[in-house]
Amino acid sequence: MADSVSSRRRAIATTVLLALATLGSTFTAAAVAQPATPDLTLDPAQGPRGTVVTAVAAGFDDCPFVGSDDVGLSEVAFSWDGDGTSIEFGTAVISAGTATTSFVVPAETGPGTHAVFARCTGDAAIAAERDFEVTPSTSDMTVVPDLVGLTVEQAVPILEEARLVLGEASGDGDRVRSQDPPPGDEAITGSPVDVVLGVAFAEVPDLTGLTLAEARDALASAQLTVGEVSGTGDQVGDQSPASRSQVPVGTPVDLTMQQVPPPTVVVPNLVGMSKQDAIAALDPLGLRLVLSGSSEGDLIEGQDPAPGTTVPRGSDVTVITTAAPSVSIAFLIATAVALLLAIAALATMLLRGRHRAAQRRWVAEHVRARPVTPVRVGSEIVETPGEHDAIRHVVRIEPHPGEHRHEFEEVRR
């Protein structure tokens, strides 16, 4: 009896194991048979119009072919969502579940995110999708204009000229108080510019020193107007409101005009110049030469204002002139003759000095003196000394021995 129960238990256990094995095989087969998930990759995933993109569709193993009698090729069709309009790029044959193609980002596509699709031609349900970001090129960008202070009616044509559109307009008022994007930023062409309406403010420019026409242009650029104009003159001397004040757009600015002060120059030194040279020196400075009533001649010997004085352009410079000293021809000739005589005399003195020096050198080189006995009074010397005269000595000198012999006498007192 016990053996019978044991046999039954073993049979039941074997049946359960067989059932579990069969169930496991079923689950394994189901897992193996699960279809692959289609996927699409783009390289690059972003770029401007004209970019060449490589598209790879994978996981299309279960894509059936189009045809009959089991003859045909499985293919994937690629397309582009061009701002609501589908652009077909053609088909590619599937190999090992993968299809590859290349396409160019359409030129008519605007910047932004666009979808690229890959669909099985035999079963549209087998498909994949991937986004491509079209980045703006230089030609797609534009500078946002300044709309602050303008009415909506004035802002619209300015935006159109900048290839932009008016976005959301909020706030109370009839003029733009602020905007987004701000003025000067770059934006994609066709993008909107949101504005907030209200009271807009402008900064009053500095108008001092400008002419009335220049001040009017400066105020127009600041979206302000010219108010009351007072005073006389050619340039703005004062204004109200003051410069750099913040005032509502369209506020009038009152102007007070004044005379333009003439520029000043420094008077040059004219003393010693001729009248013609003085005029040439004064003309570039805008000054006029005036002769004093007591002037005569052409040489300037005095002036008023004095040299170095600062005066307005257009001022007069009064000068006193005198005749230049004249030199006669006779005086010049006499001076030349005297100079020549002086040169001749100097040359003669120099020559005599050289001759005497040469004689002294010859005597020093060729003569020696030998004194002899002093001579008494009454000797053969022609000149007889007086009673009170000192004794005279006769010195005989002779040259060195040589081819010529000379005798000299020197009388020393």
Which pLDDT score is estimated for 26? 44
- CATH of the structural domain 138-199, one choice from 3.40.80.10, 3.40.630.10, 3.30.10.20, 3.40.47.10: 3.30.10.20
Q: What is the CATH number of domain 202-258?
A: 3.30.10.20
CA-wise closest residue to 35 among 120, 100, 101, 121: 120
Which strands sit side by side in the sheet containing 175-180, from one edge to the other?
165-171, 192-198, 175-180
CATH number for region 39-134: 2.60.40.1930
DSSP annotation string for 17-76: HHHHHHHHHHHHHHHHHPPPPPEEEEESSEE-TT-EEEEEEE--TTPPPSSSTT----EE
Q: What is the average per-residue pLDDT within 163-178?
A: 90
Same fold: 138-199 with 264-322: yes
332 vs 340: CA distance, rounded Å: 12
Fold of 264-322: Trypsin Inhibitor V; Chain A (3.30.10)
Residue written as tokens 């970019």? 51
pTM here is: 0.37
Lowest mean pLDDT across 15-19, 148-152, 207-211, 396-400: 396-400
pLDDT 10s digits, 75-121: 999 999 876 788 999 999 999 999 999 999 998 888 889 999 999 99
Q: From the CB of residue 215, how many other CB atoms can be counted at a distance below 10 Å?
A: 23
Instruction: Tabulate helix, strand, coil % of the chain (nearest 5).
Output: 25, 35, 40
Q: How far apart are the C-alpha atoms of 350 and 340, rounded to whole Å?
A: 15
pLDDT tens digit sequence for 14-61: 555 555 555 554 444 444 446 679 999 999 999 998 899 999 999 999
- pLDDT digits 0-9 by tens, 225-247: 999 999 988 899 999 999 999 89
Domain ranges within the chain, ordered by starting residue: 1-33, 39-134, 138-199, 202-258, 264-322, 331-412
- Residues of the chain with pLDDT > 90, as a percent, come to 47
